[in-house]
Structures are given as structure tokens and as C-alpha cells.
Chain A
Amino acid sequence: MAQILIANSLAHGFVVFLTAENNWSGDIRQAAVAADDAAAAALLEAAQAAEAGDQVIDPYLVEVTVNGAGPEPIEYREYIRAFGPGVPPPSRQNSS
């Protein structure tokens, strides 16, 4: 199962993904996709180093499917983390 590594940036808190260049990006399409467990372990190791270095918090691996648009988390919770709340923010239009 393909996996990517997700975390929150320490300084601003937003969701970030570990990239192939060992950087962090807010764009899931930039995420490094680990095809096997060995590659995933390497991602986790790199992320834990970033955690120890106070760059990110709470890094962990997430299972994804990969299609033309890039990786997509399988679990619904992780999907929402990656793509934002499923409901739009409030607007002032009255409905009633």
C-alpha cells in the first residue's frame, strides 16, 4: 500500500507533507509517495528527525491511492486533513 507522510508545521500549525527533497509542503501533490514499507520507514525516519529538530509536530504515515491528480488518503479523516473541511465556511447570505 502506498503511503505518504503527514504532519503539522510547528510554527504555523498547518498540515504539511514530506516531499521527495526532504522538505515540507502544504500541497499534497508534492508529497513523496512511498511504494513499500522500506520507503515508508525512510520517510518516517526523516520526519522524526524534523520533529526532533522542532520543525514539525505529530508526523505519521498515511495510506493513499495515487491517481492522475496525485495521492489521496484512503481513510476519511486523513482525506479531510489533506483537503480541508468538507463544509464551506459561513457566508452572510440569508437562506430563510
Chain B
Amino acid sequence: MYQYDEFDSRLVKERAEQFRRQVQRRLNGELTEDQFKPLRLMNGLYLQLHAYMLRVNVPYGVLSSRQMRKLADIARRYDRGYGHFTTRQNIQYNWIQLEQVPDLLNELADVEMHAIQSSGNCIRNVTSDQYAGVAADEIEDPRIWCEIIRQWSTLHPEFSYLPRKFKIAVTGSPNDRAAVQVHDIGLRMHRNAAGEPGFEVIVGGGQGRTPHIGKTIREWLEPEHLLSYLEAILRVYNLDGRRDNMFKARIKILVHQIGTDKFRQLVEAEWAAIRDSELQLPQAEIDRIAAHFAPRDYPQRNDAGDLLAEQASQNAAFGAWLKANVAEHKTPGYAIANISLKSLTAPPGDITAEQMDVAADLADEYSYGEIRVNHRQNLVLPDVAQEQLFELWEKLAANGLGTANIGHVSDIIACPGLDYCSLANARSIPIAQEINARFQEMDRVHEIGKVSINVSGCMNACGHHHVGNIGILGVDKKGKEFYQFTLGGSSGRDAALGERTGRGFPAAEAVDAVENILNTYVELRAADEDFLETYRRVGMQPFQEALYGTA
């Protein structure tokens, strides 16, 4: 993974000290809350329902074991012993004290981490495929370009006061695990006929109260022009994005209002003026960064499929975990192991400091000291020898980290909701936990198969409900929590926004509704169809009949 050089290190140190002075100026009254708020937000510090919440970036979801141990240490010493992994590959601490934030940021800087631009109307943490660099289906490693984007976007002098927040995601695989079509900019890597890598540029996707699937404005962009093209998009947005109404200020609204063609013309005209500027990356810099992501020198191993099959036949729990949580690695004899943070005893994405230490230790022992965070709020050990999967699983299971549900009904995305968030209208975590409790019978979970359930506690859609196969949106109706359902959403290659089923359900009936939807699917599915395939074939009507009866 990328290692800071003297410049990167100095920047995060200086930034922490700058924030120390800003906090001091706030505490002694030189800055008003109105002036301070954007400054603390640009260092990831929100004021939530109960306390300040600090969001720390995990750039493109890559963590070292050392960094994970520091996150555990921070959870213990500055917070209440736990943290929450988000849908943007970040970690949030819920009980942070303003006075202590400068020291905390300084400690993060020691392990090459920061909270810069994890909030605010600026370019946020760049996200990517949690399997980057190891996925069997990968065309090109996106991490190199993510790191280049991370540096370019950090403290960008021109784009730190945009109309609204700005999110960029990159995938190097055709099987999109980074939800690039629902980002302000999505970059999808391809190879051309000559075998050279390049980017397809997608803009104007997003969720929130006005969801849009992004539009491709350029089919092919040579990598050396990546930054000039991004800069052209950002400049058009900075100048022409709406600033009169924060609900219409995202780039998706601009693209929608002026049209994709007009937007493309503006970007291309701007790009023509800057494409050959200093923004063109020298090959030496691309090479320097790429060297940090050079493929590992894996000891040669044979495929251990037979061993795994035998272990699975002897231990059904391991078999279930192997089937749900282990993904194909590009190197024979190796595997990608997912760690579910969706057990019954934790809110989705929550993890205790002790579990963070366990994950770090297991990464050291089994996965070259590296951990990934994915946008579905789980962790990944990317480089595990197949023959060590069984003992890895035993240790995970002993620490509450062995839940075998990745991609299944209880692997639910949920925002913090009204239990923590000051924007929420309804609770998300209890709904997720009740669904999880209803589907504890693993045979039944695996019988239902692949399905994504995403829960948001308000229309800002942090729980990605628009792109859940089953989306659940909590709303407040005259002081009571109601849950509206959407079906058919997807954040993958075939990205789609879910369709509303009809009227919402009170909290007490929401889980029954989920079960009803899933039973309907199981009845209707043909052969090996997963939920989304069945929904796309049969449409909304049978589900509406199941939920609301025939008229």
C-alpha cells in the first residue's frame, strides 16, 4: 500500500497543527460557530445528536494493521471503545470531545491517516473496490489512480468551497463493487484495443433526495490526463453549480438541468485549455506511486479447493462462511476473506476496539498486514492462503467476527439513523437488527441467496436505500416512524434506482414486510435467479399484491 513520503507526512502534521490553532480560536471566542463550523467539518468533525462525531478517512478502503491498531487505540482513549465503518469506507467515532481533536489528529498523522475533507462542501474521500489489486475479475488496479486523486484533491485551493459536497469513486473491475454510477464522478477503467488502460468518465450520479444514475460523458480518457479532466469538471461545477438552494446544489442537478451534452461541451471546452498544463502527470510520479501497489511476490501455492471442500463438508458453519464470505483471488492458492460486521450484537458497521485489534492481528498473521473496508460496511482480508482459511475462520468466529452472511439478507447497510444522527427522521439500526434477528437460521439465509437490503433513516440516503435490492426509508409521519419500501435497486454494473412499492409500514410491521417480499421472491424465482433477476423478470405487481393484497 501507499507509504507517505516527507511531503505527505508534513502536510498532515501541519494540518493537525492548523486545526489546533483554529480550535483554540473557537474556544477563546475569536471565531463564531458559524465561522468555525465549515473549518471543523473540513476536518471531519460534526455535531451530532449526542456529541461531536469525527469521521476519519480510510482512503479507498485500504488500511494497514498498524493503522487499524491506532483506530482501536483512539476508540479506547478518545471515545467509548468502538467505532462505526460507513458506506464511504470511512470510520466514525461517536463521542469525541472538541478539545481533544487536535491531539487525536496528530496521532492519526503518525500512522499516515487524516480526517481532511471527510465532510464539508469539498472533494471527499475517494472510494474504490475493496478487492482492488487482488480481484480475479480486475482489469486494472484502481488504487494507483485513487492515491493520485487523493493527493490532488487534498486542500485543493480552488475547490474547497464548492456548491456542495463532491464524491469520486473508481473501479478497475467490470463487476462494479464501488457503486461508481451513484457518485458525483465515477471512473471505470477499461483497456483499449492496444491493451492500454484508460478511464470511462461518468458524472452526475448520486443518491439523496433526488437520486440519479450517472451519465457517461467520456468513453475513454488517457490516464495521464486524469487530473486535468477532473479539474475541468470541477471548475465547470464550481462556477455553474447552483448555490441558491442547497438541495439543488449537487452536480447531478446541474447535469440534469443543462443536459448531459451541454455539460460535456462545457467540460471539454475547459479541458482543452488545461489538458497540457502542469496537471499532466509526469511518468516518474505515476511510476513512484504505482511502485507502492506493485503485485506482491506471493509464495507459490497450489489450489486448495479439495481441502476446503473437505473442511466444509465436515463443518457446516465453516462451509457457510466459505460460501458467503470468501471471494476469488487473482492468484492460485489464495483467497479474499470478508469479515462481516453484521452480527446480531452490533449495529451494522460497528466494531469494538478489541475486534479492531483482532482484525489487525489476523491481518498480520494471514494477510500481509493489510485490511480493506468496503462500502457495505464490512472488512476484508485481501490476501489469505486458501489452506489457512479454516484457522482464520475459527479465530474470527471466536471474536464475533465470523458471521457468514456477506451479500445475504442480514448483510444490511444501515446509516446510524435517529439513534445517533441529527438529520435522521427515523431509526435505522433497530430495523436492521430486527431483520437480522428474524433471519438467524443460516440455512434459510443461504436458501434465500444473494440480496441487498439497505436502510436509511432519512431522505439523505446515507444508507443507500435507493440502490438496495430492497430499500427501506424511514420517515416521520406525525411523530411516528414509518418505513417506505423500494424494490429493484442496484449499485453494481447494472445500477438502478429502486421503485416505491406503495404506502409505508409502521415500525412494528416493517420486518414482516421484508419477510413477505422475500417469501414472494422465493415462490416466484426460476432456477438460480437471485432476487434482482426475479424482480426484473416479474416486476412490481406480485410484490405489491403480497404487501397490500389485491384491490
Residues of chain A touching chain B, judged by Cβ–Cβ distance below 8 Å, are 8, 10-15, 51, 53-54, 57-58, 75-77, 80-81, 84-87, 89-96
Given the interface pairs A11-B97, A86-B430, A87-B429, the reply to whether A94 lies near B51 with Cβ below 8 Å is: no
- Taking a contact as CB atoms under 8 Å apart, the answer to whether B345 and A13 are in contact is no
Task: Give the complex CA separation of A89 and B402 in angstroms.
Answer: 19
Tell me the bound Cα distance from A94 to B321 in angstroms: 14
Q: Is the CB of A85 within 8 A of B440?
A: no
Please determine whether A90 and B479 come into contact, CB atoms closer than 8 angstroms. Answer: no
Q: Which residue of A lies closest to B321 (CB)?
A: A96
Q: Which residue of B lies closest to A82 (CB)?
A: B50
- Minimum distance in angstroms from A28 CB to a CB of chain B: 13
Contact for B399 among A54, A75, A84, A92, CB less than 8 A: A92
Is there contact, CB below 8 Å, between A10 and B419? no
**Which residue of B80, B97, B343, B419 contacts A86 across the interface (Cβ within 8 Å)?**
B419
**Are A13 and B96 in contact, CB atoms less than 8 angstroms apart?**
yes
- Hey, what's the 0/1 contact readout for B1-43 against A, CB within 8 Å counting as 1? 0000000000000000000000000111100010000000000
At the interface, yes or no: B106 with Cβ under 8 Å from chain A? Answer: no
Beyond A10-B27, A13-B96, whether A89 also contacts B47 by CB under 8 A is: no
Whether A96 and B52, one on each chain, are in contact in the complex, defined by CB atoms closer than 8 angstroms, is no
Contact A85 B98 (CB under 8 A): no
Contact residue among A85, A90, A91, A96 (Cβ-Cβ distance under 8 Å from B403):
A96
Q: Tell me which residues across on chain B come within 8 A of A81, comparing CB atoms.
A: 49-50
Q: Is the CB of B347 within 8 A of A87?
A: yes
> In whole Å, how far is A67's beta carbon from the nearest beta carbon of chain B?
19
Give Cα A58–Cα B32 distance, bound, in whole angstroms: 12
A86 to B347 alpha-carbon distance, docked (Å): 11
Q: What B residues does A85 contact at CB under 8 A?
A: 50, 419-420, 429
Query: What CA separation (Å) do A47 and B546 show in the bound complex?
Result: 53
Query: Contacts A13-B52, A86-B427 hold; do A94 and B403 have CB atoms under 8 A apart?
Result: yes
1/0 per residue B411-430: CB within 8 Å of A?
Answer: 00000001110000001011
| Residues on B with beta carbons closer than 8 Å to the beta carbon of A87 | 347, 419, 427, 429-430, 433
Q: Which residue of A lies closest to B397 (CB)?
A: A94
What are 9 A-B interface contacts by the 8 Å CB criterion?
A8-B51, A10-B33, A13-B47, A13-B52, A15-B51, A85-B429, A89-B82, A92-B400, A96-B344
Q: Does B213 contact A (CB under 8 A)?
A: no
Q: Nearest Cβ in chain B — how far from A86, in angstroms?
A: 5
Provide the residues of chain A in CB contact with B97, threshold 8 Å. Answer: 11-14
A51 contact set on B, CB distance < 8 A = 33
Which chain A positions have C-beta within 8 A of B402? 94, 96
| CB of A71, distance to nearest CB on chain B (Å) | 17
Answer whether residue B404 sits at the interface, using C-beta atoms and an 8 A cutoff.
Answer: yes
**Cα distance, A90 to B84, chains bound together (Å):** 10
A-B pairs with lowest CB-CB distance, top 4: A90-B346, A95-B344, A13-B52, A85-B419
A39 to B89, CA, bound (A): 47
A76 to B99 Cα, complex, angstroms: 30
Contacts of B398 on A, CB cut-off 8 Å?
94
Please report B residues at the A interface, Cβ cutoff 8 Å: 26-29, 33, 47, 49-52, 80-82, 95-99, 343-347, 350-352, 354-355, 397-405, 418-420, 427, 429-430, 433, 440, 442, 479, 481
Interchain CA distance A12-B53 in the complex, whole Å: 11
Q: Which of chain A's residues have a CB closer than 8 A to the CB of B50?
A: 14-15, 81, 84-85
List B contacts of A86 (CB < 8 A).
419, 427, 430
Which residues from A are CB-within-8-Å of B81? 89
Question: What number of residue pairs across chains A and B have CB atoms under 8 A from each other?
Answer: 111
Q: Is the CB of A13 within 8 A of B419?
A: no
Please state if B354 and A92 are interface contacts (CB–CB under 8 Å).
yes
A11 nearest in chain B by CB position: B99
Chain A neighbourhood of B430, CB < 8 A: 86-87
Nearest neighbor of B346 in chain A, beta-carbon distance:
A90
11 additional contacts, CB 8 Å, given A77-B49, A80-B49, A86-B427? A10-B98, A13-B51, A13-B52, A51-B33, A54-B28, A89-B82, A90-B346, A94-B402, A95-B345, A95-B403, A96-B404
How far apart are A93's CB and chain B's nearest CB, in angstroms? 5
Residues from chain B with Cβ under 8 Å of A13 in the complex: 47, 51-52, 96-98
Contacts of B479 in A (CB 8 A): 75-76
Shortest beta-carbon distance, A9 to chain B, in Å? 9
Report Cα–Cα, A64/B350, bound state, in Å: 32
CA distance A76 to B28 in the complex (A): 34
Q: How far is the CB of B74 from chain A (nearest CB, A)?
A: 15
Q: Are A76 and B418 in contact (CB under 8 A)?
A: yes
Given known A-B contacts A89-B350, A94-B400, A11 and B47 have beta carbons under 8 A apart: no
Q: Would A91 and B51 count as touching, CB distance under 8 A? A: no
Chain A's closest residue to B101 (CB) is: A13
Decide if B26 touches A92 in the complex (CB within 8 Å): no
Which residues of the other chain, A, contact B346 by a CB distance below 8 angstroms?
90-91
Q: How many angstroms between the C-alpha atoms of A15 and B418 in the bound complex? A: 15
Residues on A with C-beta less than 8 A from B51 are 8, 12-15
- Are the C-beta atoms of A77 and B418 separated by less than 8 Å? yes
Q: How far is the CA of A10 from the CA of B350 in the complex (A)?
A: 26
Q: In the assembly, what is the distance between CA of A85 and CA of B95, in Å?
A: 12
Q: A92 vs B26: C-alpha distance in the bound complex, in angstroms? A: 38
With A and B bound together, what is the CA distance between A95 and B404 in angstroms?
Answer: 11
- Asked if residues B442 and A96 are in contact (CB atoms below 8 Å), the reply is yes
Give A89 to B83 CA distance when docked, in angstroms: 9
Selected from A8, A84, A95, the residue in CB contact (under 8 A) with B440 is A95
Contact indicator A90/B26 (Cβ below 8 Å): no
Closest to A12 in B: B97
Distance in angstroms between the alpha carbons of A53 and B29 in the assembled complex: 7
Chain B residues, Cβ within 8 Å of A58: 33, 47
Interface contact A93-B26, CB-CB below 8 Å? no
